[in-house]
A and B are shown apart, each in its own frame.
Chain A
């Protein structure tokens, strides 16, 4: 990371330039080096991503998949990268920057998605009932609602100890999920206001706006050209993924600016020692409330772009496990670093979330294993006669349980052995400019 922490790809240039015409040699060199380091950050993200793509290309080829399968796999991976990236950036703002231990991410996502759904789902949907307003209204409404719920939680809760805040936010997220799950509530709101959440049966969602693009003249032509190699469905999903990547970049730049500013400096100070920040005259309450609301709005947005883009959603998508996934991503990348959040999301999705499943599929396809025994007993009993195949096929058949075990173990190992994350300890300086001694000053003016 460069000294001014300009870890957003666009800020490495404006940072040093904007602060004055000190065009002598050393400053230029410093600017060059800074740009280089910032670029390295960007490179880490891209390299990690390419490595994961390559890994899955190998997986796909081994499994005998064609170009379309590969494309489909990559699109799915990228979709999940982007979804987790947005959520982990938001969580990193809370926890990494400000030290607010929020484990109610899923709840805030739920508020965002459901508000969007209730605003923008057509009134004649099969499940749930919306108001049929334009999608942008729904998205903005969803973010605002998530921010407002954040505000209501923040005002009393932000003075709590970190572990109490954790329990409060987890409780809140479960209350939100149970509320969305309530058939009674949905029936009542439909009767009273004409919209409802659909309770446990979930709610239909408005279509992705990008889908319509493929129905245009250009779109149909493109589909026709690509058709046998890349199917329309992959194309449709990849268009949406492009939109999500746009959001990831936007949010990254936004949060880099938040972090690299006096505002971000106060956040860091709150994380380190709130009393010090207060003793220097910072009204920390407002900083915490603002940052909590901003993070919650982004969690709502992340939920909308992810769970909200799949035509249908139910309260089950907002179980606490989703929050823990996001936590794992942030911790892998190293809390406190925006770049780390991106890298962590990629590694989480690639190696922990999708990897084991894909790998299991390949194994089961390649090594024609007998059908898996129904129970663990059936798997281990043959061990007595030194037959390991039932155990193996049981393992492959239950790869999803295995994935969670792996997740838990990785979480424990990282927090034990590498609490700063895979990228190690990083200093992303919280200032809007490079803090090196200004060259024009000549330096050492005291003696």
Chain B
């Protein structure tokens, strides 16, 4: 009974959405292959290709953990992108550069606090633009200077909000009545200008930031990287906070209403400009913190870091369904896992392409996102 139902549904899907059905089958094969690899089963196919193989639990666990880490970054940054996309009605191509803004401003503050007296203020505030004290001398790590790391996160949020709101006032506000494409093009202009202002001020060098001393701790026999642990805690905390804000507060409800239907919100008298500002404040803060945490985890910083993340963030948002913050979070994890776990099958110069391919397929065949059709924030 159940089986025949499933078959029926499969048939319908095959007829109505052949590509999606194909993708489902491919996904199932990959999962089986993964299980076979984990179990160490290997079935020879054509040539030197095999089904299954061997994959240590340790490596798999490592990939999954990496997937969670990058997934949280994509998701955290994606929340803001998703909100601006649905509430302001345009794809914001400068979102990645807001992420970069947060990374630089936040780390400038963190280094300043952690390295006070070790190096001159310019060197610290500009996040080591040239030669000078090295990261370990400055000592910005969660183990050595936890306070500086937290202050940095707060500064990242505040500074990014200031930048985001200022840009909104100068660029997007005069264009509120224009179509999504005009705004999109404007956002490309913003992206260029912002990225190169950052380069102008902070320089173009890719450099180390965090101190690596004492960041590995052993808890219950497992070695964990304290910076990664911090990232997971902070990101999860912010996501939870976002959830509470949207469900419990009046502002959150207004934002959900506007994400669903801007005209309706206009009619029912929700002060839209206030909601728009709130969108930039929340989205900007999360983007800034996401950039800051990303640097905390990878240890280095450069001026186009956010721009390189942009397509992944878009992928997360699209996968989750534009306008849904839960979707953005879930989409972040999916893209994060695809990015990392796909390494089992594809060489490392193709895992980004795999993530983009999935994004394109979703846009083509399931533009409402993977998780249902409702776009309620």
Contacts and interface: CB of A to CB of B under 8 A. Distances in A.
Q: Do chains A and B touch in the complex (CB under 8 A)?
A: yes
Contacts of A415: 175, 182, 185-186, 189
Nearest to B361: A156
A172 B360 contact: yes
Given A164-B367, A404-B196, A408-B190, A171 B356 contact: yes
A284 interface: no
B314 interface: yes
B353 interface: yes
A381 interface: yes
Interface string A125-164: 0000000000000000000000000000000110011111
A181 B192 CA distance: 24
A95 to B, nearest CB: 9
A376 B315 CA distance: 35
A376 B193 contact: no
Contacts of A378: 122
Contacts of A324: 188, 192
Interface in A178-196: 178-179, 181-185
A14 B189 CA distance: 42
Contacts of A376: 122, 126, 129, 200-203
Given A162-B180, A164-B367, A408 B122 contact: no
Given A174-B311, A182-B350, A184-B347, A160 B364 contact: yes
B238 interface: no
B195 interface: yes
A409 interface: yes
B364 A168 contact: yes
Contacts of B318: 167
A408 B123 contact: no
Contacts of B350: 178-179, 182, 184
A167 B196 contact: no
B129 A377 contact: yes
Contact of A375 (B90, B129, B367): B129
B311 A166 contact: no
B349 interface: yes
A72 B134 CA distance: 45
Given A178-B350, A374-B129, A415-B182, A404 B192 contact: yes
Interface string B71-111: 00000000000000000001100000000000000000000
B186 A412 contact: yes
A405 B196 contact: yes
B125 A377 contact: yes
Contact of B123 (A157, A160, A377): A377
A32 interface: no
Contacts of A360: none
B93 to A, nearest CB: 9
Nearest to A402: B200
B349 A174 contact: no
B90 A163 contact: yes
A9 interface: no
A123 interface: no
A409 B193 contact: yes
Contacts of A306: none
A331 interface: yes
Contacts of A157: 364
B58 interface: no
B192 A405 contact: yes
Given A171-B356, A377-B122, A416-B186, A408 B181 contact: no
Interface residues of B, number: 54
B377 interface: no
Nearest to B197: A405
A419 interface: yes
B191 interface: yes
Given A160-B367, A377-B129, A327 B360 contact: no
A155 to B, nearest CB: 10
A327 B175 contact: no
A167 B171 contact: no
A412 B349 contact: no
Interface residues of A, number: 47
Interface in A298-338: 324, 327, 331
A175 B357 contact: yes
B221 interface: no
Given A184-B349, A374-B129, A377-B126, A170 B200 contact: no
A181 B122 contact: no
Contacts of A381: 122
Contacts of B356: 171-172, 174-175
A405 B200 CA distance: 9
B180 A163 contact: yes
Interface string B16-39: 000100000000000000000000
A318 to B, nearest CB: 14
B328 interface: no
Interface string B345-368: 001011011001101100111010
A407 interface: yes
A412 B129 CA distance: 29
Contact of B363 (A160, A175, A184, A199): A160
B237 interface: no
A398 interface: yes
Nearest to B179: A162
A419 B182 contact: yes
Given A324-B188, A376-B202, A408 B193 contact: yes
Interface string B114-127: 00000011110110
A174 B315 CA distance: 13
Nearest to B308: A174
B363 A167 contact: yes
Contacts of B184: 163, 166
B130 interface: yes
Contacts of B120: 377
Contacts of A161: 367
Contacts of A178: 349-350, 352-353
B193 A183 contact: no
A168 B360 contact: yes
Contacts of B194: 408
A412 B192 CA distance: 10
A79 interface: no
Contacts of A353: none
12 contacts: A164-B363, A170-B311, A171-B356, A331-B185, A374-B131, A376-B202, A401-B199, A405-B200, A411-B185, A411-B189, A415-B186, A416-B186
Given A407-B192, A412-B193, 16 more contacts: A156-B364, A175-B357, A179-B353, A181-B349, A183-B349, A327-B185, A375-B129, A376-B202, A377-B129, A404-B196, A405-B193, A407-B189, A407-B193, A408-B192, A408-B196, A415-B175
Interface of B: 19, 90-91, 120-123, 125-126, 129-131, 171, 174-175, 180-182, 184-186, 188-197, 199-204, 311, 314-315, 318, 347, 349-350, 352-353, 356-357, 359-360, 363-365, 367
